[in-house]
Amino acid sequence: MLRFIGRRLLEAIPVMWIVITGTFFMQRFVPGGPFTAERAVTPEVQHNLDAYYHLDDPLWKQYTDYLWDLTPKAFHPLALKDGLDLKAAFGVDFRPSFKYPNRTVNEIIADKLPVSLELGAASLAVALVLGLTLGVLAAVNRDTWIDRLCSSAAMTGICVPTFVLAPLAVLIFAVHLQWFNASGWNDPSDLVLPSLTLGCVYAAYIARLTRGGLIEALSQDYIRTARAKGASETRVIFKHALRGGVLPVVSFLGPAISNILTGSFVIETVFQIPGLGREFVNSAFNRDYTLVLGTVVLYAAFIIACNLLADIAQVWLNPKLKFD
C-alpha cells in the first residue's frame, strides 16, 4: 500500500503542474488586469503597482518565480541551513492578494476554508444518509411503488441543478414559511438550508449508484449461499450485500467529497456564505491572480487526495482488488 500511495503522489506532481500552468496563463490571456476595475490612476502609480507585484516582469519570469515560491522551502537549495521549522519547511506560499493588499492568500484561505469545510461536512452527511437510505429501499423493494418513488426522487435531484434548487429553497422555506434566514452565516440554523440543498444534489447520485450496485450484489452466488444458511434478510443486506453494493458509491465519492468539502460556488453565492467558494468567484471577477491560483491549487490537491482515499477504500471493501 505504501508503494501504491507513493506512486500516486508522484503521479500527482505533473497533474498539479499542468493545473497550475493552465490556470496561470489563462488568467494572463484574459483581457483586463487586477487594477483595471479601480479608478483611473496616474502612469506613475500604475508603474509602481506593477513593479510591486512584479507584473512588469516578462511573463516567463512571472511564471517561474511563482513556481519557485510555490515550492516548499524544504526543497530549495541550502534550505536546511536556514533552520526552518516543519511548518515553514513544508508550507506553501501563495503570495499576497491583489484585492486585499494587507493580507496574504494563505491568510484568506485559512479564514474562509473552515466555513466551507463546515458546510461541506454537513452536506456530505445529508448526502450519505439520504442517498444510501433511498438506494437501499429502492433495491430491496425492486419494481414496487417504493422503488419507483425513490428512483423518481433521485432522478429529480439529478435533473434539477443547484442554481435552481437553491433559490427555490429560499423562496419556500425562508420567504414564505420563514423557517430559516434567506442568507447569512450568523446562526446555527443558517447551516440547514445550504447543507440540505447541496446534500440533496449528491444524494440523488448516491441513491442511483447504491440501487444499481446493491441489485447486482443481491444476485451473486454468495448472497444465495448466505440465505441458504438461514441468515436473516437484514443480515444479508447489511452484512453481505451492502459491502459490495457500495463500491460504485465509493468510486463516486472520490471527486464528490472534494467538491462538497470545499463548498459549492453557487450555494455560497446564493446564501451569501463567507466561504472559500464565494471568495473564489469574487477573485475571478476581481482578476486577483494569486487568490485564484491559490484556490485552484487547493481544490486540485483536495481532489487528488480524495481520489486516493477512494481507491484505498475500494481495495479494502473488495478483496479481489489489489494495490497495483
**pLDDT value of position 299:** 84
Lowest mean pLDDT among 22-31, 88-97, 217-226, 253-262: 88-97
Contacts made by residues 67-71, CB under 8 angstroms, sequence distance 24+: 67/20, 69/93, 69/95, 70/20, 70/94, 70/297
Q: 92 vs 61, 74, 296, 298, CA distance in Å? A: 19, 10, 13, 10
Report d(CA 139, CA 151) in Å as an integer. Answer: 10
**pLDDT value of position 273:** 84
**pLDDT value of position 174:** 84
Q: Mean pLDDT, to the nearest integer, of 95-101?
A: 79
Grid coordinates of 73: 522551502
Q: What are phi and psi of 146, to 5 degrees?
A: -65, -45
The pLDDT mean for the chain works out to 79
Please write the tens of the pLDDT for every residue from 170-187: 888 888 888 888 887 887
Q: What are phi and psi of 86, to 5 degrees?
A: -65, -40
Please write the tens of the pLDDT for every residue from 275-310: 888 888 888 777 888 888 888 888 888 888 887 887
Q: Which CATH superfamily is domain 108-277 in?
A: MetI-like (1.10.3720.10)
In the beta sheet, which residues pair with residue 104? Answer: 96
User: Residue ranges of the domains in the chain?
Assistant: 108-277
Helix (H, G, I), strand (E, B) or coil at 96: strand
Please write the tens of the pLDDT for every residue from 45-72: 767 777 777 777 788 888 888 888 777 6
Of 282, 245, 234, give the one whose Cα is nearest residue 100.
282
Go through 19-56 and write b for each residue having 16 or more CB atoms within 10 A of its CB, e for each that does not: bbeebbeebeeeeebbbeeeeeeeeeebeebeeebebe
Report d(CA 267, CA 123) in Å as an integer. Answer: 11
Of 255, 259, 277, 281, give the one whose Cα is nearest residue 268.
277
